[in-house]
Structure 1
Amino acid sequence: MDFSYSEEQQMLQSSVSKFVQQDYDFHRRCKLVSSDTGFSLENWRLFAELGWLMVPFNEQDGGLGGSAVDLMVLMEEFGRGLVVEPFLATAVLSGGLIADSASEAQKRELLGLLMEGQLQLAFAFAESQSRYNLADITTNAKKEGDAYILNGHKAVVLNAEAADKLLVTVRTSGVQYDREGVTLLMVDADSEGVSRQCYRTVDGHRAAEVKFKNVKVPEANRIGVEGTALPAIEKSIDRATLALCAEAVGAMEKIYKKTVEYTKTREQFGVAIGKFQALQHRMVDMFTEYEQARSILLMAVLQWDSNKGAAPKAVSAAKSRIGKAARLIGQEAIQIHGGIGVTEELDVSHFFKRLTTIQYLFGSTDFHTLRFAEH
């Protein structure tokens, strides 16, 4: 089988790689993370100009094709650069939901603005008690005339601070764990009754606790058919999980190579520590884990594209295996670097924090291992 990239994919990889190398060095990233917005609006506009925000969408929706392989190419490069702009939250997760579930009129209105870089989105689906169960929803919306009255609390909503609109999973019928009765509503982030408690996560990204108190949402803001949103939500989370796995693979490649380079310059007893056989064995283990992680990522994205976005077992296999690799590579990198590896001044610590966070986003390693076994 030919695993080489197409000409278009090579161009995409080259453009993102050049951006990361020339305009996204570690010190600039640190400044962005500590800024008020947490990312660069100028970079976001650049993403739009270069067409990167069109990558997750098919041509019918105005995108560039929407293949998982294209998304993998882009996200791997983002992982190598530790990019903090909310591409995953806005374009992949929220944008994917709109592309799959919204009406043609809603797609024309929202996706065009998103791909032009003029719309920030956040997907509010997790609750404090849900533990990766997407059907565990207590946030409710009751119909009153031509509107819904929304009440509830969503946890760890990525990009909620910058979002213009929130996509919110609500229960319109049934009880807490029912698969039926889940509806998707689009809420203006500045609506009366919406409160956001924003914070910076350990890996430098932004999230928020979002509370809704008697928020009035017009019926026209419902995405899809009432009570039937869960399958589309599961598909969108799986797509975002694949993108996250690709980001992890890119970050793992960077951190293990940095570790190898460090052992060539760090001396102990007058000898570069890279000459110690015990450390050589550990670095070979890091390389092996990385190669296995990238192989299973390729398997998953190819299955996703060949099965038209229905590959839950392959996604869970990738997330489980890549989560284990991320843990080993991240911890070994820190241990080989020693105390300096956990300082804020060294980029290795930031790669480690991102890889640690990725292990728990959209389902932990253990969760996806069990999910794989159930399919």
Structure 2
Amino acid sequence: MRFELTEERQMLQDGLRRMLADTVNLKEIVEGDAPWSQATWNALAEMGVIGALFTEDQGGFGGAGYDLMVVFEELGRAGAPEPLIESLIAGRLIAELGNAGQTAHVEEIIAGGTQLAFAHSEPGARFDLSRVATTARQDGKDWVLAGRKSVVVNAGAADYLVVSARTAGDIDVTDGLSLFLVPRNALDLLDYPLTGGGSAAELALQDVRLPGEALLGEAGHAFPQIELAVARGIAAQCAEALGMMERIRDLTADYLQSRTQFGQPLIKFQALAFRMADLLIEIEQVRSAAINIAGHLDADRTTREIHVSAAKELTCRVAKQVVEEAIQMHGGIGVTQEYDLGHFVQRLTMVHHRFGDALFHRARFAGLRAA
């Protein structure tokens, strides 16, 4: 079986790699105050990269799993913290569920002029997508939201947030979940930086009143769309992690070839060469998992989610190994801000803390296989 990119995707990959190499400034990311670079974001939008996250019917030119893999692998390789995953998750929800007024935003989202965030995680949820305590009740023609959301990535810079809330049912059941498109200025949030770039916020929803038109899709039936949106986000994150692992591999190989001990490069020492070989094998397994999940995003729900959890579990596990091995083989320089490896180590470590860690997805995979 051959896993080669189509001509269009190869052109996208080559152009994106060159553009990011010219635009992304790791020193500025590490030492600057901004969570991400507006210049890089503008370059992504000008190149049309955001359009690769949406289907042709939605105004984009891609939207398939392999399109996501091409884009996010290159973002990971460059170490760019721009919030494209948020545009993917929230933007596709708006495009697929929104009314005429809401979908009118999609054109501006693809053009890069509108920033988004997805507010679903809550304190104590522990990665369980169905565990939502935030409530939404109807008051005349309006909706009133009450609750809390945690670690909402890019909330501080977002123009709109897609917020989940329970309109019926108990706290941990899939039925009764709804989605709302909320302007940021309607929310009370506490913004803070994330390790490795980007930012997140805690949201306090204290009787936030929204017009009836803020509802995305049908009330009480949003869980399948939430699960699919998060599956796309996990596929994108696995591809991004793959790009970061490959960059870390290259940095480590270059270091071992240039650093000498006892008159010869470190790579000549058999123990280190074997450890690098093990890393190469593990990273190739992550590539296979990323390809696998990209090809199953349009499968039936059970098949898709089995592959999603399998890929995320493997990616988290290998990410930990890559980080630990790279730092050990570099020594103290591997954790300094002056050296690029430190930035990639921080970003790759954060993969463990979003959309579920290895332990969570291992248990979820077992449950889905047994069902």
Q: TM-score, normalised by structure 1?
A: 0.94
**What is the letter of the counterpart of residue 17 of structure 1?**
R
**What is the letter of the counterpart of residue 102 of structure 1?**
G
Structure 1 residues 237 and 306: CA distance shift in structure 2, 3 A? closer
The correspondence for 1:157, drawn from 152, 160, 169, is 152
Q: Aligned with 2:226: secondary structure?
A: helix
Deviation of the 1:40 alpha carbon: 2.2
**Aligned residue number for residue 351 of structure 2:** 358
Provide, for residues 331-370 of structure 1, a one-character-per-residue CA deviation record: whole Å limited to 9, x for no partner.
Answer: 1001110111111111111111111110221011111111
CA distance in 1, matches of 2:22, 2:48: 18
Q: Aligned with 1:190: secondary structure?
A: helix
Deviation of the 1:309 alpha carbon: 11
CA distance in 2, matches of 1:133, 1:305: 22
**Aligned residue number for residue 227 of structure 2:** 234
Deviation of the 1:80 alpha carbon: 0.3
**What is the letter of the counterpart of residue 10 of structure 2?**
Q
Provide, for residues 301-351 of structure 1, a one-character-per-residue CA deviation record: whole Å limited to 9, x for no partner.
Answer: 112246699611111111111111111111100111011111111111111
**Aligned residue number for residue 94 of structure 1:** 90
**Aligned residue number for residue 76 of structure 1:** 73
**What is the letter of the counterpart of residue 94 of structure 1?**
A
Q: Percent identity over the alignment?
A: 38
CA distance in 2, matches of 1:308, 1:92: 19
**Aligned residue number for residue 48 of structure 2:** 51
The correspondence for 2:296, drawn from 303, 315, 325, is 303
CA distance in 1, matches of 2:301, 2:17: 28
**What is the letter of the counterpart of residue 11 of structure 1?**
M
| RMSD of equivalent CA atoms | 1.6
**What is the letter of the counterpart of residue 85 of structure 1?**
E
Tell me whether 73-82 or 16-25 shows the greater mean CA deviation.
16-25
Q: Give the unaligned 5+ runs of structure 2.
A: none
**Aligned residue number for residue 19 of structure 1:** 19
Deviation of the 1:70 alpha carbon: 0.9
CA distance in 1, matches of 2:22, 2:30: 15
Deviation of the 1:104 alpha carbon: 4.4
**Are the counterparts in 1 of residues 181 and 214 from structure 2 also a CA contact under 8 Å?**
yes
Deviation of the 1:295 alpha carbon: 1.1
Structure 1 residues 303 and 100: CA distance shift in structure 2, 3 A? same
Superposition pairs of residues 172-211 of structure 1, within 5 angstroms: 172-191=167-186, 194-211=187-204
Q: Give the unaligned 5+ runs of structure 1.
A: none
**What is the letter of the counterpart of residue 63 of structure 2?**
G
Deviation of the 1:41 alpha carbon: 2.2
**Aligned residue number for residue 99 of structure 2:** 103
Tell me whether 44-53 or 264-273 shows the greater mean CA deviation.
264-273
**Are the counterparts in 1 of residues 117 and 155 from structure 2 also a CA contact under 8 Å?**
yes
**Aligned residue number for residue 63 of structure 1:** 60
**Aligned residue number for residue 10 of structure 1:** 10
**Aligned residue number for residue 166 of structure 1:** 161
CA distance in 2, matches of 1:138, 1:305: 29
CA distance in 1, matches of 2:42, 2:65: 23
The correspondence for 1:35, drawn from 33, 36, 42, is 33
Provide, for residues 152-178 of structure 1, a one-character-per-residue CA deviation record: whole Å limited to 9, x for no partner.
Answer: 110000000101111111111122112
**Aligned residue number for residue 118 of structure 1:** 113
Deviation of the 1:196 alpha carbon: 1.1
State the aligned residue count. 368
**Are the counterparts in 2 of residues 151 and 212 from structure 1 also a CA contact under 8 Å?**
yes
**Are the counterparts in 2 of residues 181 and 228 from structure 1 also a CA contact under 8 Å?**
yes
Deviation of the 1:250 alpha carbon: 0.6
**Aligned residue number for residue 347 of structure 1:** 340
**Are the counterparts in 2 of residues 184 and 229 from structure 1 also a CA contact under 8 Å?**
yes
Deviation of the 1:274 alpha carbon: 1.4
Deviation of the 1:44 alpha carbon: 1.9
**Are the counterparts in 1 of residues 23 and 40 from structure 2 also a CA contact under 8 Å?**
no
**Aligned residue number for residue 331 of structure 1:** 324
Q: Aligned with 2:296: secondary structure?
A: helix
Provide, for residues 91-145 of structure 1, a one-character-per-residue CA deviation record: whole Å limited to 9, x for no partner.
Answer: 21111222332234422x1211101111111110001110011111111111101
Q: TM-score, normalised by structure 2?
A: 0.95
Tell me whether 246-255 or 270-279 shows the greater mean CA deviation.
270-279
**Are the counterparts in 2 of residues 235 and 310 from structure 1 also a CA contact under 8 Å?**
no
